């Protein structure tokens, strides 16, 4: 099938499939996100390994900070992957922890080096640190499980739907700011068409299908794109119908990110009006996995979800003609 290409700001958007590629990334010979190493994940892996070394020696954050003449907060931020780590810091920590194996030292310094690499999303100054961290984790996750209450999940949105959603949710934004937010969302979607895409499991409330974002034409296009995405062997998309009544998670949406490397904790990302949060504790992960399994169980099957998609899309097409 021939694809058309449209330019959106710095992005080339190929249709169908809404695959976006930044021109500067093409010039650098980087065609897909999957081939990039996520610096966010490298920092988290480095932090987890350094934390294990500290705990093995039964040292506190204060003990380490006193030895290195820095604050305990710095050591904590290193261990959580919240800050870049210099190779000198790695060497000092390894010396303190008695790391003599050159292979282990090389691995840790390499992780520090890769963790300092600049990622594509860092070119967008308007991104909050929380959203930037989320993108870094999402780009490296092997499984993305999302429950969304009122809108189509970001990884599955068309360009026009995304633009209509951003315009509607924050009408005070300048056109340039809207363009940048649209760019970022489309760039995130490259991962789905990479050589190593994540497994995407999405459960969305039926209201997301009926809510008109943009206009009826935009919705008809969006639901067709959602149907195409549902045909992917790495996607499981289900709809929770109105007939399900009240159900777990009715009061909010969340995303579970799972990683191949077991040393890196799986992460839950929760969005709300008061701020976005990450959860990594075992108890939190267990609770959100349980909730997702429950909403997936009471949702329509993938085939039934496709039938409902078609029904709602026909409704939007009919209104489109009026």
Give the Å distances, CA to CA, from 114 to 17, 38, 86, 117, 222. 31, 8, 11, 5, 37
pLDDT of residue 126: 83
Residue ranges of the domains in the chain?
39-115, 122-320
What pTM did the predictor assign? 0.81
pLDDT of residue 37: 66
In this structure, are residues 225 and 155 in contact, taking their beta carbons and an 8 Å threshold?
no
How far is the C-alpha of 308 from the C-alpha of 238, rounded, in Å?
A: 10
pLDDT of residue 82: 87
Pairing type for strands 277-279 and 267-270 reads antiparallel
Which of helix, strand or coil describes residue 71? coil
Positions of the chain with pLDDT under 70: 1-37, 321-322
pLDDT of residue 10: 41
Q: Do domains 39-115 and 122-320 have the same CATH topology?
A: no
How far is the C-alpha of 218 from the C-alpha of 238, rounded, in Å?
A: 21
How far is the C-alpha of 182 from the C-alpha of 176, rounded, in Å?
A: 10
Burial of 96 (0-12, 13-18, 19+ CB in 10 A): middle
Which of helix, strand or coil describes residue 138? helix
DSSP-assigned states of every residue in 6-36: EEETTEEEEETTTEEEEHHHHHTT---GGGS
Q: What is the pLDDT of residues 69-114, one digit of tens each?
A: 999 999 999 999 988 899 999 999 999 999 989 999 999 999 999 9
Q: Which fold has domain 39-115?
A: 434 Repressor (Amino-terminal Domain) (1.10.260)
Q: Which fold has domain 122-320?
A: Endonuclease; Chain A (3.30.870)
């Amino acid at each position: 099938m021939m694809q058309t290409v449209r330019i959106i700001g710095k992005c080339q958007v190929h249709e169908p499939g809404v695959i976006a590629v930044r021109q500067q990334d093409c010039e650098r010979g980087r065609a897909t996100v999957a081939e990039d190493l996520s610096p966010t994940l490298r920092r988290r892996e480095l932090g987890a390994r350094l934390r294990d070394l500290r705990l093995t020696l039964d040292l506190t954050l204060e003990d380490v900070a006193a030895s290195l003449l820095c604050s305990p907060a710095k050591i904590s931020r290193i261990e959580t992957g919240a800050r870049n780590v210099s190779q000198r810091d790695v060497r000092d920590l390894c010396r303190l922890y008695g790391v003599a194996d050159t292979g282990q030292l090389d691995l840790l310094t390499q992780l520090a080096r890769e963790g300092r690499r600049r990622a594509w999303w860092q070119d967008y100054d308007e991104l909050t640190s929380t959203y930037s961290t989320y993108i870094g984790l999402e780009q490296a996750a092997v499984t993305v499980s999302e429950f969304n209450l009122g809108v189509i999940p970001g990884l599955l949105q068309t360009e026009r739907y995304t633009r209509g959603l951003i315009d509607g949710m924050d009408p005070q934004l300048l056109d340039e700011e809207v363009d940048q937010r649209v760019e970022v969302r489309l760039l995130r979607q490259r991962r789905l068409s990479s050589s190593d895409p994540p497994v995407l499991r999405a459960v969305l409330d039926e209201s997301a299908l009926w809510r008109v974002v943009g206009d009826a034409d935009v919705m008809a296009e969006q639901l067709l794109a959602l149907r195409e995405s549902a045909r992917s062997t790495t996607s499981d998309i289900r709809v929770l119908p109105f007939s399900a009544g009240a159900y777990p998670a009715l009061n909010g949406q969340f995303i579970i990110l799972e990683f191949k490397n077991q040393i890196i904790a799986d992460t839950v990302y929760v969005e709300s009006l008061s701020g976005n949060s990450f959860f990594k504790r075992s108890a939190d992960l267990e609770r959100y996995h349980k909730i997702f399994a429950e909403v997936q169980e009471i949702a329509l099957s993938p085939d039934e979800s496709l039938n409902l998609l078609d029904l709602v899309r026909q409704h939007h097409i009919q209104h489109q003609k009026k």
